[in-house]
Structure 1
Amino acid sequence: MLNLQPPSPRDSPPPFTGLLAEICADAAALRSRRRDALFGPPLLPASALDGVDAAAGPLWLRLDVAPETLPAAAPGLARIEVDCPLDQLDDALALAQGDPHPLPARLAIRVDPGAAGRGWAAESAERIAAAGAHPVLASGLGADAVADFLAVLAHSDAGFVAHASTGEEVVAILAATVAALRGDDIPAAFAAADPAPVAALSAAAAGAVREVLLAIAVPDAAAVEQHLHARGITAHLGGA
């Protein structure tokens, strides 16, 4: 069982507070986003910042414009995410370290492996974490790639963020992260997507998971919230 830290103080927020990030296409979607305790900074394209109030932050920003074009009055940023083909990872790592332009928030790098063979997920995650950025666990990866990724991040203090298309995939990511921290079979935990071990975590164990898994971006926030609530994972947060 996870037992990686002392019990949390009584006034600490529940450990899955702010776990989900609603993906918002534009400023209008941002204004109507869900604001329950389960949700943290939403994910918004940088190109949609026009019309966003400077007090709307914090935001998880997806960099789809040149970094130097980010407005000086952008809302507070939790992180900035960039998509990166595997063969351009060196350029993304340089950006994470302020070359050619310092970023106003920590970079998160989502790698597209293309036709790369087994091992790309572990290698890229290790390099991204070493550069001081957050590796991004993309949606739709196979169990082996997820296991390689988590085997690195479970023993790193970098933390990672993830994308998921459904509530089932959110459960699979949580279950696989628990397995990685416990030293269990990560591919089996990811493939089974069993919510029971996640729902049964103590507050301290769930807090240890959150030290590694910082947030999960989802496109259908209401459906994912309902899915997690129905399976007892976030029932203590209310909502759904």
Structure 2
Amino acid sequence: MATLLNLQPPAPREQQPPFAALLAETCADAAAVRDRNRDPIFGPPLLAASALDGTDLDSGPLWLRLDVALDALPQDLPELTRIEVDCPLEHLDDAVALAEGDPRPLPARLAVRVDPDGAGRGWAAESSERIAAAGAHPVLVAGRDAHDVADFLAVLAHSAVGFVAHAADTREVVAVLAATVAALTGDDIPAAFRAADPAPVAALSSAAAEAVREILVAIAVPAGAGIEADLRELGITADLGAR
């Protein structure tokens, strides 16, 4: 396998295995957050802002999806890792402004999920470049066309901001990981994404896996899908003990 194009060693991740806290369980409500999967592959869960019920979640930080008006957010928010917004491509200027603190600074870094709505080739590169330049995380949806994924990753492989992803199942998680590896090694990104071969990902050294995590911050997945067990069986997270 080609050598990862990583000129500087990544920052330490508190001595944890590289893929610790890779996944984010998507929770339907506050009760699901409290009862979420505690496997070490899971980091902060994803919850819609409309599902905040005002009670103490006692769960640590959250990845919050902003599905209500910004002014409707409660004053007493839990600790947040990021705030995600859905953004039609034609409203990208508004999302970039929000990332830059207009109309007011956000309590956490913004993540922007763009809906291209039939846009032609090139939208993924242009939008992700603008989002990353504003200091926000572009969001990669694993169900996109392989060439759009390649355009997206060609930008993010050279960005210090990193990205987050959404995946529906184990295959999509592996596809995102494999495509990210290809982006860092200079390999064929669309081919790696389509093949979703776990072998190159499982074969990564710890240093190479750390380089992947420098740009792939987290992947949101459905609750109860068993993806953590699948990744362990595939050898990708064999160093993470099950709980």
TM over 0.5: yes
For residue 220 of structure 2, what is the amino acid of its counterpart? A
How many equivalent pairs are there?
240
Separation in 2, partners of 1:187, 1:10: 29
Offset of 1:111 from its aligned partner?
0.1
Q: Please name the residue that 1:61 is paired with.
A: 64
Offset of 1:237 from its aligned partner?
0.3
Q: Please name the residue that 2:81 is paired with.
A: 78
Separation in 2, partners of 1:11, 1:28: 29
Partner secondary structure for residue 23 of structure 1: strand
Q: Please name the residue that 2:33 is paired with.
A: 30
For residue 160 of structure 2, what is the amino acid of its counterpart? D
Alignment of 1:98 with 2:105, yes or no, is no
Between 39-48 and 94-103, the greater mean CA deviation after superposition? 94-103
Contact between 1:54 and 1:74, CA under 8 Å: does it hold in 2?
no
Offset of 1:9 from its aligned partner?
6.6
Contact between 1:96 and 1:132, CA under 8 Å: does it hold in 2?
yes
Q: Please name the residue that 1:238 is paired with.
A: 241
For residue 202 of structure 2, what is the amino acid of its counterpart? A
TM-score by length of 2: 0.94
Q: Please name the residue that 1:2 is paired with.
A: 4
Q: Deviations over 1:23-56 (max 9, x none)?
A: 0010111111101110001000001111441643
Partner secondary structure for residue 171 of structure 1: helix
Contact between 1:7 and 1:203, CA under 8 Å: does it hold in 2?
no
Partner secondary structure for residue 239 of structure 2: helix
For residue 204 of structure 2, what is the amino acid of its counterpart? L
Offset of 1:98 from its aligned partner?
1.2
TM-score by length of 1: 0.95
Offset of 1:101 from its aligned partner?
2.4
**4+ aligned runs moved over 2 Å, structure 1:** 1-11, 54-57
Q: Quick one: percent identity of the two aligned structures?
A: 72
Q: 1:195 aligns with which of 198, 202, 205?
A: 198
Q: Please name the residue that 1:12 is paired with.
A: 15
Q: 2:141 aligns with which of 138, 141, 152?
A: 138
Evaluate the alpha carbon distance shift between residue 10 and residue 143 of structure 1 in structure 2; reply closer, same or farther with a 3 A threshold: closer
Offset of 1:8 from its aligned partner?
7.8
Evaluate the alpha carbon distance shift between residue 111 and residue 8 of structure 1 in structure 2; reply closer, same or farther with a 3 A threshold: closer
For residue 4 of structure 2, what is the amino acid of its counterpart? L
